Amino acid sequence: MSIQIISPGALTTIQDYGRTGYGEIGIPPSGAVDAGAMEVANILVGNKMGEGVLECTLFGPTIHFTRDNVVAVTGANMNPKVDDKDIPMNTAIIVRAGENLTLGFAAAGCRSYISFSGGLDITECFGSKSTNMNCTIGGFYGRPLKANDEILFMKPVKNMSGMEKRIYKQREADTLPGTIRVVMGPQDDYFTKEGIDTFQTSIYKLTNDSNRMACKLTGPVISSKQPTDIISDGISLGSIQVSSNGQPIIMLSDRQTTGGYAKIGTVISSDIPIIAQCKPGDEIRFQSITLAEAHKIYKKYCKNTIKFQKRINRL
Amino acid sequence: MSEIRILPAGDLSLVVEFGNEISMVCNNKVRQLNQSLREKKITGIVETVPTFRSLLVYYDPSKIKYKKLCKYIKSFSVENGDAKAKTKRIIEIPVCYGGQYGEDLVDVARHVGMSETEVITIHSGVDYLIYMLGFLPGFPYLGGLDKRLECPRLPNPRTTIPAGSVGIGGEQTGVYPISSPGGWRLIGRTPLKLYDSERKDPTFYQAGDYIHFRPINENEFVDIEQLIQEGKYQCKIIMEGD
């Protein structure tokens, strides 16, 4: 044994980049909703960026260590502690055998990520360690972690070089708080000009009915030229479906592979982490950008991540 | 093939639309493009998801430019046309109709004004084309239900439908690979595990294959279930028209 779950928190699952290549047989992709925070957590402890981590939602777990290892906590700040001592976010930390790592309520944000150097010993299903609770596959028996669950480390370490420099400084956001950038389409032609205007200028609030599959929003009705039922087609990460009541739904990691509502736009990949960190009641607004701009942002995001990884790996 | 539309779906995927209808011709084109893209192994294409009338293509914009990808897609679809003769791959699915396995068969028969036996004969007398998989792991969207068997969905959907259930919902028929809520009228059940994440081939079939339902009795159902448990059951696959 390497870690034992003392209390699981509200919803703690194992996640990585998710499943690629099985969409055509209907297997949802899954994976960390805030993939950016997962990448940072893994980089800090010297893992490959898509190693399996714990994704903790709203209220985190208490984890007992029976072996030493280096960990990092990223994403939402849940005031992490080792035993009774506060530990910093976005920083590699040594946890000793016998100590407890505890995450509390999310002060800001919604999802925290805990990485373990060398990774967790979890069998891959369809090429991924990600838990899909709806299909009961992947992760720990296809379910959220429970008290007394025990997981082994693969290659734990007692220490790492340059520990004091294994820190991630949050970059300043290049958008206003709560602004989500979207590329319009693929089915924006189902909506009236007023509907598009409403979508691009209104404030939408996350409802309680939001989870790893989708964020359901509430706000001004987006009017359409015709019913928004379409012949079922593929759903991407960040697809914004508009159902018959005119309310937008942002599709996330555990989304079904196909769906039958018109998609007015798609959240750009670099802004999915913003949605991932929204709690029910939080407000967002959509800003339309061109595909070329979206690609520029994506490339910059990748470049920054790789730069950060190189810096840490040099330590 | 002049009518294709390529639409961006965010920064990491695009949709290739071949029309706005559920038809074999349209669906054929989707699968042909899917096949071509797969065979050519284009750098930068991450994954493809074929559906009724469109193909979702996930790509990495740092490996391939959007415009270049669009050009590729257009050239491939033209190259292929839609006249390629194909072998028909038919997956035989044994189904025990009625009784405890198909609680709604009586109602369906009454609704369509036939005997239960007639419903079974018609339902099992067709090879159903798998247009796409989606909704649930391994869930096949089938085409080809005889119009005479069309029957509205249940007014109150069931909260759980057992895995393997075969049902009719409106103008569609299908089979539930895993247990799920659902509003279709259940006319039978197969003992086969249509989806198994532990199996090398998690589903026996893919989009473009056909499904044939073979009526079996309760004894055969139990026998096949036993064989499956012992790992001795071989799913029957028929190749036609080579």
pLDDT grade, residue B77 (50/70/90)?
low
Q: Which of B52, B202, B203 sits opposite A232 (nearest CB)?
A: B52
DSSP letter at A25? G
Q: Which of A26, A237, A267 sits opposite B136 (nearest CB)?
A: A26
- Which chain A positions have a beta carbon within 8 Å of B22's beta carbon? 231
In a domain, A28, yes or no: yes
- Predicted pLDDT of residue B157: 85
By CA distance, what is B61's nearest residue in A? A295
Q: Which residues of chain A have pLDDT under 70?
A: none
Mean pLDDT of chain B: 92
Is the bond leading into A186 cis (omega within 30 degrees of zero)? Answer: yes
End residue of a domain, out of A170, A188, A205 = A170
| Same structural domain, A30 and A140 | yes
Q: Which of A232, A238, A291 sits opposite B66 (nearest CB)?
A: A291
Poorest-pLDDT segment among A234-238, B11-15, B114-118, B158-162:
B158-162
Asked if A256's CB is within 8 angstroms of B135's CB, the reply is yes
| Same structural domain, A222 and A146 | no
pLDDT grade, residue B241 (50/70/90)?
confident
Asked if A236's CB is within 8 angstroms of B9's CB, the reply is yes
Percentage of the residues of chain B whose pLDDT score is greater than 90: 77
| Same structural domain, A224 and A247 | yes
| Residue A102: strand pairing partners | A62, A81
B39, exposed or middle or buried, with CB in 10 Å at 0-12, 13-18, 19+? exposed
Neighbours of A81 (CB within 10 A): 16
In a domain, A59, yes or no: yes
- Which chain A positions have a beta carbon within 8 Å of B138's beta carbon? 25-26
| Same structural domain, A56 and A105 | yes
Rounded Cα gap, residues A303 and A297, in angstroms: 10
Asked if A25's CB is within 8 angstroms of B202's CB, the reply is yes
Tell me, what CATH number does A288's domain have? 2.40.100.10
Asked if B50's CB is within 8 angstroms of A21's CB, the reply is no
pLDDT tens digits, one per residue of B81-130 = 555 556 899 999 999 999 999 999 999 999 999 999 999 999 999 999 99
Q: Average pLDDT, stretch B65-81?
A: 83
Looking at the 3D structure of chain A, how many domains does it have? 2
CA-based nearest residue to A250, from A225, A274, A228: A274
- Which chain A positions have a beta carbon within 8 Å of B133's beta carbon? 24-26, 257
Residue ranges of domains in chain B, CATH in brackets: 5-80 (3.30.1360.40), 88-240 (2.40.100.10)
| Same structural domain, A158 and A250 | no
Interface of A to B at Cβ within 8 Å reads 20-28, 125-126, 135, 137, 182-183, 185-187, 231-239, 256-258, 263, 266-270, 291, 294-295, 297-299, 302
The contacts found for B105-111 with CB under 8 angstroms, 24 or more apart, are B105/B186, B105/B187, B105/B188, B107/B185, B108/B149, B108/B151, B108/B168, B108/B185, B108/B187, B111/B151, B111/B152
Measured in angstroms, the CA of B139 and the nearest CA of chain A are apart by 7
Asked if B10's CB is within 8 angstroms of A269's CB, the reply is yes
E strands, A78-178, are: 81-82, 85-86, 92-95, 100-102, 108-116, 150-151
- 3-state helix, strand, coil split of chain B in percent (to 5) is 25, 30, 40
By CA distance, what is B181's nearest residue in A? A134
In a domain, A120, yes or no: yes
- Which chain B positions have a beta carbon within 8 Å of A237's beta carbon? 10, 12
Q: Which of A25, A126, A236 sits opposite B206 (nearest CB)?
A: A25
- Predicted pLDDT of residue B1: 46
Q: Best residue in A24, A133, A272 to probe B by mutation, most B CBs within 10 Å?
A: A24
In a domain, A8, yes or no: yes
- Which chain B positions have a beta carbon within 8 Å of A25's beta carbon? 133, 137-138, 202-203, 206
The helix (run of H) or strand (run of E) holding residue A308 is helix A291-314
CB A287 within 8 A of CB A269: no
CB B168 within 8 A of CB B142: no
Neighbours of A221 (CB within 10 A): 14
In a domain, A308, yes or no: no
- Predicted pLDDT of residue A243: 87
Q: What residues make up the domain containing A63?
A: 3-170
Between residues A181 and B170, which one has the greater pLDDT?
A: A181
- Which chain B positions have a beta carbon within 8 Å of A20's beta carbon? 46-47, 58
Rounded Cα gap, residues A111 and A184, in angstroms: 27
| Same structural domain, A128 and A30 | yes
Rounded Cα gap, residues A125 and A127, in angstroms: 5
| Same structural domain, A106 and A23 | yes
pLDDT grade, residue B181 (50/70/90)?
confident
- Predicted pLDDT of residue B33: 94
| Same structural domain, A154 and A231 | no
End residue of a domain, out of A170, A190, A208 = A170
By CA distance, what is B137's nearest residue in A? A26
Measured in angstroms, the CA of A299 and the nearest CA of chain B are apart by 6
In a domain, A51, yes or no: yes
CB A56 within 8 A of CB A15: no
pLDDT tens digits, one per residue of B29-55 = 999 999 999 998 899 999 999 999 999
**What's the token pair of residue B53?**
């009338």
**What's the token pair of residue B85?**
């003769």
End residue of a domain, out of A147, A170, A193 = A170
Asked if B58's CB is within 8 angstroms of A258's CB, the reply is no
By CA distance, what is B202's nearest residue in A? A25
- Which chain B positions have a beta carbon within 8 Å of A258's beta carbon? 49, 51, 132, 134-135
Neighbours of B146 (CB within 10 A): 13
Asked if B15's CB is within 8 angstroms of A183's CB, the reply is no
| Same structural domain, A144 and A9 | yes
The pTM score is 0.93
| Same structural domain, A283 and A236 | yes
φ/ψ of residue A59, rounded to 5: -140, 120
| Same structural domain, A30 and A159 | yes
Q: Which of B9, B47, B134 sits opposite A20 (nearest CB)?
A: B47
| Same structural domain, A27 and A151 | yes
In a domain, A304, yes or no: no
Rounded Cα gap, residues B92 and B211, in angstroms: 6
